[in-house]
Amino acid sequence: MLFNSFEFCLFLPVAFAFYWLLRCRWHWQNAFLLAASYVFYAMWDVRFLWLIAGVSLTAWLSGMGISRFGRGSRRAKGIVAAQAAVSLGVLFVFKYFNFFVDAFVSLSEWLGFSACRPLWQVALPVGISFYTFQALAYVIDVYRGETKACRSALTFFTFIAFFPQLVAGPIERAARLLPYFDRPRSLDYASAVDGLRLLLWGMVKKTVIADNCATIVNAIYANPNADGTDLWVATFFFAIQIYGDFSGYSDIAVGCGRLFGIPLMQNFRLPYFSRSIAEFWRRWHISLMSWFRDYIYIPLGGSRGGRLRTAGNTFIVFLLSGLWHGANFTFVLWGAYHACLFLPGILLRKQRRRNDDMAAGGSLPSFHVAWQMGRTFLLVCLGWVLFRSEDVSAAGLRLHRMFTDLHWHVPFCGRLPLLLPIALLLVEWFTRHREHPLDLPARGLWRSRAVRYAVYYALILSVLQWGGTPVEFIYFQF
C-alpha cells in the first residue's frame, strides 16, 4: 500500500480512530497496531508476512536467550552469531541470491566454462533490508547491555512491524523506540497536529516534486541517444527526485508515527546544503549510516588504528552500504565512489564537524560556503548516475557523454519544470532553522490562522492538482 494512494487515505484515519478508542488498554493498542501493520504489508504481498513474523520471532527469542544466559557467556555469543546468520542469511537468499548466481555464471563463461542459470528467480520482499537490520541491531544491543530484552512478544513484534517505518525505515534502535511500545500512550493533540503538517509536507515532496521529476528522468534515461546536456538535466532532476522521494517518505513516516504517539527519528537533515562529502553522509539516510557506524565501523576498529586502518574501515563500510542498496555492481561502484571522496579527508586529517548554521547567522551563505555546497552537490550528482543506471556500461556511457557530448540547447523538459526543484531548495534553505517548513512560527504574518490554513489548503490542492503519476517509492526496492 503506497502512502500516496487512495487506499492509504482510507486506511490511516480508520487505523487512527480504532487505535485511540483503545487508549485505556495499551496492550490492545499494540495488538491492533500489529494487525494493522500486517494488513498494510499484506497489501504488497501477503506471501512474505511469514518472513517478517519469522525474523521477529527469532530476534525476540534471541533477546530472551541472552537475558537468560547472561551477557558475555559462550551461549550468549552463540545466540548473537546465530541471529546474525539468520538475518544475513535471509538477506542473502531473498536479495542477493540472483545477483551472485548471475555473477558466478558470467565469471564461469569468461573463464571458458559452461554454467546454467537456475530456472527460478527469488522474489525480493519489500522492506527486507530495513526490518532485518532493525531486528539484528536489537539482539546486538541486548548482548552489549545497551537495552533490556523485551519480555512481551506482542510488544516486540509491534516494534518491528510498525507500519509507518516498516518498508523504508528509518531503521530504529530498540533502546530509543521500544519503550514507547511498552507503556501506556495518550493522544498529544499538538504532536498529532504537527504530525499532520509533516505528513502533508512529505506528500508535497513525494507527489508534486519527486513524481514530476521522475517523469523527466525516466524519459531521458530511456533515450539511448540522449546527449550530455539532457543527461546533466536528468542527473539534476534525479538528485531532487530521490531526495524528495525518500525524505518525503521519511517525513510521512515520522508524521504518521506522531499520530499514534510513537516518535520516529529524523532521517534527513538538509543533505544538499552539505559543505563536504563527510557532512553529506551525516545528513543523508542518518539511520542507515549510524547503523553501519555502530555495528560495522566501530567493531572493525573505527579510527583507533591509524589513518590507513581508518581508511580501510571506511572503505569497507561504504562498499557494504552500496551493496545494501541493491544487488547490482552499480551500487557497489557507487559505494566505492563515495569512499574515494571520503578518504582524502581521513588521510590528510582534514575531517571536522561543521557548525549546522550554514550561513553563519545570515540569510545567505558566504561565497566560500556556497562554493563548498555547490562542489559537494556536483560530486553527489555524479554518483547518482551510477545509482540510477541499469548497469555499469550504461553508467559509463552516460558519464562519458556528460563530459564530451554537450550541446547548448533548451533542455529536453523545457524551462518550466526547473522551477519545482529550485522552489524546493529555496523553501528548505529559508526554513532550515525549523524542524520542517510547515512548522510555522506564531509571529508576524503566520500569527493569522487564516494565513496558515491558506498555506495548508494550497499545498493540499497542489498535491491533488499537480501530483505526478503515482510512482512507487524508490527505497521500497531496498
Per the CB < 8 A criterion, the answer to whether 244 and 206 are in contact is yes
One-character DSSP codes across 83-97: HHHHHHHHHIIIIIH
Among residues 239, 92, 258, 246, which one has the least CA distance to residue 168?
Answer: 246
Distance of CA 320 to the CA centre of its chain: 15
Per the CB < 8 A criterion, the answer to whether 229 and 274 are in contact is no
Per the CB < 8 A criterion, the answer to whether 265 and 170 are in contact is yes
Q: 431's torsion region: left (phi>0), alpha (psi -120 to 50) or beta?
A: alpha
- Give the separation between CA 258 and CA 5, rounded to whole angstroms: 20
Among residues 192, 145, 329, 171, which one has the least CA distance to residue 265?
Answer: 171
- Give the separation between CA 102 and CA 97, rounded to whole angstroms: 9
Would you call 291 helix, strand, or coil by DSSP? helix
- Give the separation between CA 392 and CA 333, rounded to whole angstroms: 8
- Single-letter code of the amino acid located at 61: L
Per the CB < 8 A criterion, the answer to whether 202 and 249 are in contact is yes
The helix or strand, by DSSP H or E, that contains position 10, with its residue range, turns out to be helix 6-21
Per the CB < 8 A criterion, the answer to whether 201 and 251 are in contact is yes
- Nearest 5°: the CA angle 429, 433, 437 is 65
Among residues 216, 203, 207, which one has the least CA distance to residue 456?
Answer: 203
- Nearest 5°: the CA angle 450, 454, 415 is 150
Active-site residue, selected from the candidate residues 27, 285, 325, 433: 325
Q: Grid coordinates 523506540 are at which residue?
A: 177
Catalytic residue flag (residue 325):
yes
Cβ-based neighbours of 93, under 8 Å, separated by 6 or more = 122
Among residues 218, 217, 247, which one has the least CA distance to residue 234?
Answer: 217
Neighbours of 138 (CB within 10 A): 29
In 326-366, which ranges are continuous DSSP H helix?
329-347
Among residues 373, 417, 438, which one has the least CA distance to residue 209?
Answer: 417
CA–CA distances in Å: residue 176 to residues 16, 255, 458 = 23, 17, 36
Residues assigned a catalytic role: 325
